[in-house]
Chains A and B, each alone.
Chain A
Amino acid sequence: MSDAERAERVLGLLEAASLVHDDMVVGLSGFSYQNPPMALVRAIIRRRVKGLTIVSGPTSGIETDLLIGSGAVRRVVTAGVAFERVAAIAPAFRLAAERGTLEVWECDECIWHVALKAAAWGVPYLLWRGGVGSSLPELNPDLAEIDVEGVRCLRVPPVRPDIVFLHAAEADAYGNVRVAPEAYLGRFFAERSLALACRGPVIVSVERIVPNEEVLESPERTILKGALVVEVPWGAHPGGVSGRTVPDLDHYREYAAAAEARRKGDPVAYQRYLERHVYGLEQHEDYVRTIGIERLEPLRMAGA
């Protein structure tokens, strides 16, 4: 063994958010209620960047809607933005799309993944059979329906994020990103797809930084290596952390009610939400205090 020291890959939340600039293509984790990198999203919104393209989901949630609602987003690449039963259509997404201030690259979950794979594999396009006969090629000029050796296919272009932000249960200081042992619903979601397609840094906020020894004991829980790591307990709130915490549905309802009121012409509650949860706070610790630890702790899953 040499005495040279292995480099840690840990950084602070503000430092991570400062990597985002106007007009970037930003990939975000978050499948429905699970694993949205909300502390990072709030820190990005505080920087008041504009013109972002958000690649999220493939079925996106509040991480995407809040960024849209704050005015940071020009375009989304997503199969949908919704909050399950709380809001069948995410309100800020709906308002911006109906006003025409938001472009939507219209896809479904499979086509979203195919586009990221095209980027990950470095090819100019991939062929995909699903979606022929749908409206998707009419709605996206770069998604052509073509015949290849007698088979009708979609020609799917690469979607390549400039930077990716994820939230996960844990990681070590060297950037090994891990799921919880009780991860369920899925082993993981689109974290790897986004990271592998990304041309730049992959930043993951985690509930806890764990010693490298723990990683070596159960490498099957490592889903990604080489990420930059930010320790942010409750960093997915109000989203859940797969296998660790459940979503705060009361918070989702409060957010959705405010966003829906704004969609119908009354922006006051949404402005108040942004002040209270984003702009009025300097750092994530203030957010945790605002929500209240007594409200957060009951969101932990049994045995997690």
Chain B
Amino acid sequence: MEGKTLYTVTIFSENTVGVLNQITTIFTRRQLNIETLSVSPSALAGIHKFTITVFAESDEVMKKLVRQIDKRIDVLKAYFNVDDELIHQELALYKLATDKVLEHGSIEYLIRKYNIRVLEVTNDCVVFLKAGHYAETQGLFDELAEKIGVLQFIRSGRIAITKSRVERLSDMLAEREEKRKQALTNN
């Protein structure tokens, strides 16, 4: 993606039906292609967390995108970061033919070099797991493909945690709960 930066968008939402659709249409309208997407329950009960990566031209583009996402009723909070501000990780699984692995000889070098975890070995296949940045999981893929051959390969979406601050969603929710109580007493 020439001239573009990879951004990570983090979104907290209520766990209601169709939130993903609401979010993705905003990307579509702004002509932004989602690179990776990961959704899971957050640390707070009933709240889901979306981690989405996307190439974009500038912070300005991202600011507009995030504000439009944040505007959706079911979205609690949306923000974006660049890689420098994040600890991020992807997972990759690699399936190789057992006979090809044995043929290749010592696999120990690769296991040490890439810090591979071996998940399964059967007569037919061997399954490796590698966690890391995109370049690392891709590096292993390239080397395995060249030297042994990869039967199947899958990579997860990115998950990320910000370096600079703790996740303040619980504070934000507490603040809003306070507002709700005020609203009730005002009525």
Are A and B genuine complex partners?
no
Interface residues of B (CB under 8 A from A): none
Interface residues of A (CB under 8 A from B): none
